[in-house]
Structure 1
Amino acid sequence: MRHPYLDHPGPLAFAHRGGSLGGPENSMAAFARAVRLGYRYLETDVHTTADGVLVAFHDERLERVTDGTGAIAQLPWRTVSAARIAGREAIPTLEELLDAFPEARFNIDVKAPAAVRPLVDAVRRTNAWDRVCAGSFSEARLAAVRAAAGPRLATSAGPRAVAAVRLRSLTGGRLPLARSARRHAICLQVPERLTGGGDTGPRLVDRAFIETAHALGLQVHVWTVNEAERIRSLLDLGVDGIMTDRIDTLRDVLTERGAWI
């Protein structure tokens, strides 16, 4: 059955970290800007502080984007909450985001094992089951999320399932697909190319990959795409969603195609 998370006509437009090229990434201001532009899908990441507070933040450490220092997992919330993104924006907790944007759906990258239980607890407390999709590059973390939340929480596929779908697409569907690659996930969330979405390296997302995923009932969401021509090319191939830092560019492309809804 189609998960309610995917109930949206046309391609899904994700504001990656709130649209990091338009404002401080993973900040309340960035997410608010994306929502004002009409975005219904917001992408973020989660880590847990030493005292168990789940924060929307990409890096393990504070230094790159804030005026604070140290590893989030080793700091209490009191210290993390004092840091400022770009010197001015507070680091939001996941529950603050879920409460602040009750109509938005969130794609959440689980960055650490300690974030699994707080994530499921936050979804339960806010009753956000239909508007959260959890993902991870770690098969172990994905398995832990699914075990803790059950099938009510949407998840994206892990690396093994992505590899299995790619191999199947390259062999014209002749390779059998392990049951584990077909269970649990509602989508594949992948870079356009295996090097991370740049202009070099083996292509992952092509028509055969998309058609194979669709035949298995899986959507294909591609990250992180910021150039208008690449967005158009991927939409022409039939991808179901695009994550971008350039939320203005993605909106403009979808608008020109009559697909901004």
Structure 2
Amino acid sequence: MQQTINFAHRGASAYCPENTMSAFCHAIELGATGIETDVQRTKDGRLVLIHDESLERTTGDSRLVKDVEYQELVRLDAGSWFSSSFAEERVPLLEDLLKLAKDTELIINLELKNGVVPYEGIEAEVIALVQSYEMGDRIIISSFNHYSLVLCKQIAPQIKTGVLYMEGLYQPWEYAKSIQADALHAYKFAILPQWVQEAAENGIVYHPFTVNEEIELEQLIGFGVSGIITDYPDRLNHILKRSERS
């Protein structure tokens, strides 16, 4: 039986500023077997890892990612908002994470942030970069923009996709199959054990987000989900190791 994938949400974001190289490296140290992160594009076409469309919350710059060239973006302090000890952190490039992960067994979940800002063509650009690192078999592309997931499958059918959604989809595994998606990236409260089982019978797996409390982590492992997205990869690692021993 394959062990539940321990996806560190934006890296080890409970302990480090989210979506930074420190967060990704620390996630590995804490036992993560996967990294979840967010992809956007700068004004001059560089693929960067940041959640918000605006730079305000994590760098203090009021502009949007899409309006800033990479050479400006890379000078911004992306760590001090979290702690002064992270003042040297920068917004990383997607290729920075791919370089870090290439010689590991990490599964990388790339969420395309192309709902508010459409980022036309980002699907092909992300896939091309992933394939240049020969990592297509360890990538899951997710998005709340499901048209984008369909396009990803048209470009590269072998790369896995995950349907992000918040609540109440009826028989979401049937919907996933209709767009050739491989996984359901459901909000943690949009899951019941019988749904996990029925999805599995239809070849679709669950990777719920964002699950941080031990009781919820244990419950979802009991449901049989294939992966969990968490800010605390150490907590999930501890629970998984404990369940292995029992």
**Do they superpose with TM above 0.5?**
yes
Question: Which residue does the alignment assign to 1:172?
Answer: none
Secondary structure at the counterpart of residue 163 of structure 1: coil
Matches of 1:44 and 1:124, distance apart in 2: 18
Is it true that 1:35 corresponds to 2:35 in the alignment?
no
* Structure 1 residue 127 displacement after superposition: 1.5
Match of 1:244 among 230, 239, 244: 230
Match of 2:151 among 144, 157, 170: 144
Instruction: Give per-residue Cα distances to partners, 1:76-120, cap 9 Å, x unaligned.
Output: 111111112123211110011101221122101100242323211
Matches of 1:135 and 1:117, distance apart in 2: 14
Question: Which residue does the alignment assign to 1:106?
Answer: 108
Question: Which residue does the alignment assign to 2:184?
Answer: 188
Question: Which residue does the alignment assign to 2:211?
Answer: 225
Q: Is the CA contact (8 Å cut-off) linking 1:222 and 1:241 kept in structure 2?
A: yes
* Structure 1 residue 159 displacement after superposition: 5.0
Matches of 1:68 and 1:109, distance apart in 2: 23
Matches of 1:145 and 1:242, distance apart in 2: 23
Question: Which residue does the alignment assign to 1:90?
Answer: 90
Question: Which residue does the alignment assign to 1:4?
Answer: none
Secondary structure at the counterpart of residue 225 of structure 1: coil
* Structure 1 residue 158 displacement after superposition: 5.6
Match of 1:153 among 156, 159, 166: 159
Structure 2: 5+ residue stretches without partners: 81-86
Matches of 1:232 and 1:9, distance apart in 2: 16
* Structure 1 residue 163 displacement after superposition: 2.2
Secondary structure at the counterpart of residue 171 of structure 2: helix
Q: Is the CA contact (8 Å cut-off) linking 1:105 and 1:132 kept in structure 2?
A: yes
Q: Is the CA contact (8 Å cut-off) linking 1:188 and 1:219 kept in structure 2?
A: yes
Matches of 2:4 and 2:31, distance apart in 1: 14
Q: Is the CA contact (8 Å cut-off) linking 1:53 and 1:77 kept in structure 2?
A: yes
Specify the code of the residue in structure 1 equivalent to 2:145: S
Matches of 2:41 and 2:22, distance apart in 1: 21
Matches of 1:51 and 1:232, distance apart in 2: 44
Structure 1: 5+ residue stretches without partners: 1-7, 169-176, 194-203
Specify the code of the residue in structure 1 equivalent to 2:169: A
| Count, aligned residues | 230
Specify the code of the residue in structure 2 equivalent to 1:96: D
Is it true that 1:16 corresponds to 2:9 in the alignment?
yes
Specify the code of the residue in structure 1 equivalent to 2:17: P
Secondary structure at the counterpart of residue 163 of structure 2: coil
Specify the code of the residue in structure 2 equivalent to 1:106: I
RMSD value, Cα: 2.1
* Structure 1 residue 181 displacement after superposition: 2.9
Instruction: Give per-residue Cα distances to partners, 1:30-74, cap 9 Å, x unaligned.
Output: 100111223221000000001100001111011111243310011
- Stretches of 4+ aligned residues off by more than 4 angstroms: none
Match of 1:124 among 122, 126, 131: 131
Specify the code of the residue in structure 1 equivalent to 2:55: L
Matches of 2:130 and 2:5, distance apart in 1: 21
TM-score, L = length of structure 2:
0.86
Matches of 1:110 and 1:254, distance apart in 2: 29
Q: Quote the sequence identity (%).
A: 29
Matches of 1:30 and 1:116, distance apart in 2: 25
